[in-house]
Amino acid sequence: MDRLNAAFIRDKGPRFLLFDGLTIDHRHPWTETPAMWLEVYRWYNTRLLGDHSLLLERRTAPRFEQLKVVGHLEMSITSPLDFSASPTAVFWTMRCRMNFQGSLQKMLFRTPEVTMRLGNQDKPFRIIPEVMDSPMLAEHLPSSLSEFASVLDEVPVPVPNVKRIQFGGPGLTTYGPACQVEFLAPL
């Protein structure tokens, strides 16, 4: 569904989008639908930041044409993911395979919750590791409406607010032993 939404935004996106920042089950908006948010980032600018919503306007041309791989890392999903400061936007993807126990559990029951904590935030967000193979912003990953407005500004000047991501939750035991992480930069 995420990829279908992304194709719609890329190919037929409306002139204006209204975003309220609300999510289901305390998920993070960008990590819930990363392919769609990548296209929103490419094609939309902040037009107006309100108290409870953000108005976005479609650009005449995309912010960038494609992403180029600039780094690769293998890590355990139980290890923290640290980001280095960068003057430009950097994106990341993560591919984690389920272990035998996790695959069996997913087939017969349901996978336990996996969470992601951004930096020093008190409350972690629920995530679906399978969709994290689509690019997400690294150190500029927005969480609040004002952060989304800053990142999507016509001339973005986002404040790096994420230096580390830590994964948690009972679902971590269903993945392993290693995840593949790629870092990408816009061209």
pLDDT at res. 52: 93
Query: Using N-to-C axis directions, what is the helix angle for 2-12 and 34-43, rounded to 10°?
Result: 10
**pLDDT average, residue stretch 149-178:** 88
Single pTM value for the model: 0.91
Distance CA 114, CA 176 (A): 13
**Model confidence pLDDT, tens digit, residues 57-95:** 999 999 999 999 999 999 999 999 999 888 788 999 999
Distance CA 5, CA 2 (A): 5
Residue written as token pair 């990829």: 3
pLDDT at res. 158: 66
Distance CA 78, CA 61 (A): 39
